[in-house]
Amino acid sequence: MNEEIGFQLSNTCSSTRARTGVIFTSHGNVSTPVFCPVGSQATVKALTPEDLIDIEVKMILSNTYHLYLRPGIDTVKALGGLHRFMSWDKPILTDSGGYQIFSLAHLCKITDEGVFFRSHLDGSEHFITPELAIKYEEDLGADIIMAFDECPSHDSGVEQVQQATERTHRWAERCINAHIKNKQAIYGIVQGGMFPLLRRQSAQFISSLNFDGYAIGGLSLGEPKNITLDMTEETTQLLPVDKPRYLMGVGAPEDILECVARGVDIFDSALPTRVARNGAVFTRTGRQNITNARFERIDRAIEEGCDCYTCQHFSAAYLHHLFKSRELLAYRLATIHNLRFMMCLIDDIRLSIKQDRFACFRSDFLNNYETTSEEMRSQQKEKWLRARRATNM
pLDDT in tens, 200-220: 999 999 999 999 999 999 999
Residue 312 reports pLDDT greater than 60: yes
- Mind listing the pLDDT tens digit for each residue in 154-174? 999 999 999 999 999 999 999
Q: Where does the pLDDT of residue 384 fall: very low under 50, low under 70, confident under 90, or very high at 90 and above? A: low
Q: Where does the pLDDT of residue 127 fall: very low under 50, low under 70, confident under 90, or very high at 90 and above? A: very high
Residue 310 reports pLDDT greater than 50: yes
Closest CA to 17 of 250, 220, 237: 237
Residue 388 reports pLDDT greater than 60: no
76 burial level (CB within 10 Å; 0-12, 13-18, 19+):
buried
Q: Where does the pLDDT of residue 390 fall: very low under 50, low under 70, confident under 90, or very high at 90 and above? A: low
Q: Which CATH number fits domain 6-275: 3.20.20.105, 3.30.70.1350, 3.30.565.10, 1.10.3210.10?
A: 3.20.20.105
Residue 231 reports pLDDT greater than 50: yes
C-alpha–C-alpha distance, residues 194 and 157, integer Å: 9
The proportion of the chain whose per-residue pLDDT surpasses 70, expressed as a percent, equals 94
- Mind listing the pLDDT tens digit for each residue in 92-109? 999 998 889 888 777 799
Q: What is the pLDDT of residue 373?
A: 72
User: What residue spans in the chain does CATH classification 3.20.20.105 cover?
Assistant: 6-275
Whether 143 contacts 81, CB under 8 Å = no
Cβ partners under 8 Å of residue 94, min gap 6 = 61, 62, 63, 64, 82, 137, 140, 142, 144, 145, 146
Q: What is the pLDDT of residue 2?
A: 46
Secondary element (H or E) of residue 34: strand 34-37
Q: Where does the pLDDT of residue 249 fall: very low under 50, low under 70, confident under 90, or very high at 90 and above? A: very high
Q: What is the pLDDT of residue 104?
A: 79
Averaged pLDDT, 307-311? 98
Please tell me which residue in 95, 139, 149, 212 is annotated as part of the active site: 95
Q: Is 268 a catalytic residue?
A: yes
Q: What is the pLDDT of residue 1?
A: 41
Q: What is the pLDDT of residue 376?
A: 63
Residue 112 reports pLDDT greater than 60: yes
> What does the mean pLDDT of the chain come to?
94
C-alpha–C-alpha distance, residues 29 and 27, integer Å: 7
Please tell me which residue in 51, 74, 268, 347 is annotated as part of the active site: 268
Q: Is 242 a catalytic residue?
A: no
Q: What is the pLDDT of residue 372?
A: 81
Whether 131 contacts 168, CB under 8 Å = no
